Amino acid sequence: MKIRDIRSKDISNTISVEGEVSTINEIRPKLKTAAYMCNICEGIVCLPVEGSEIGKPVHCENESCGKRSDFIHLEDKSSKTDSQQIEIKELDNICDPRSLIVHLEGDLVDTIKIEDKIVVIGVLKAHFQSTSTTGDFVLEANSVEKMKEKKVVSDNKEGTDSSGEIQIIREIIDQLRLSSPSDKVLLEDIYREASNLHIGRERAEKYIAKLRRQGCAYLPDEKHLRALW
């Protein structure tokens, strides 16, 4: 599923999402079960922790007590696991990549690096700040797999790493824009700069066509290109 296609109706479903890791946060301890002690009989009640909420028991589970009581949270008797929040963004060099928060737990913590391209399978949840009516989509990961780098057969010149070269074209355009007050760039200038970097005109034309298809650039007239990033 594409990150941009995620909607509220997908909450609670198991989905699979591809993306590039853009943020990795600190590893933090997370409560799995919370232990409480009854104030009256000192019996212990363990509750599973759902999502980010810690529920407090209302009635004591101890049969001889069963009273409505105050409960004290017992930090050292509560079970914990490692957790880590990361963010992934859409792949393919698109201009406005959307991102998604992913929660990793247990063995999944610390298994990835920034810029890794991964496939995450998990359950989609919605997280809300306490007073807000608008929340965030969060993917609670069950599995994380690194995507295999696509090996391009390089028996002809077209087969070289095209995502690297398209990046070079974008950088050329960025450079040329700096000296163009109207933000328009001459196509011929792009081809010339590209050829200086050993990207032939035919390939450069192909990359520009790709940028236009992705909605990242358009041609205001025959000779110029305007970038939209």
What's the rounded Cα separation, in Å, for the pair 229 and 215?
9
Site membership for Zn ion, residue 24 (CB under 5 A): no
Residue of 65, 72, 101, 126 interacting with Zn ion (CB under 5 A): 65
- The side-by-side arrangement of strands in the sheet containing 224-227 is 184-186, 224-227, 217-218
62 binds Zn ion (CB under 5 A): yes
* Single-letter residue type at 150: K
Least CB distance to Zn ion at residue 67 (A): 6
At 130, phi and psi to the nearest 5? -55, -40
Helix or strand run (H / E) with residue 23: strand 14-38
Cβ closer to Zn ion: 3 or 38?
38
Cβ proximity to Zn ion, 69 vs 78, nearer residue: 69
CB of 66 to Zn ion, least distance (A): 7
Closer Cβ to Zn ion, 21 or 38, answer by number: 38
Instruction: Please name the residue ranges forming H helices in the chain.
Output: 162-178, 187-196, 201-213
Question: Site map for Zn ion, 31-60, x if CB under 5 A?
Answer: -------x-xx-x----------------x
Q: Interaction with Zn ion in 72-91: which residues (CB under 5 A)? A: none
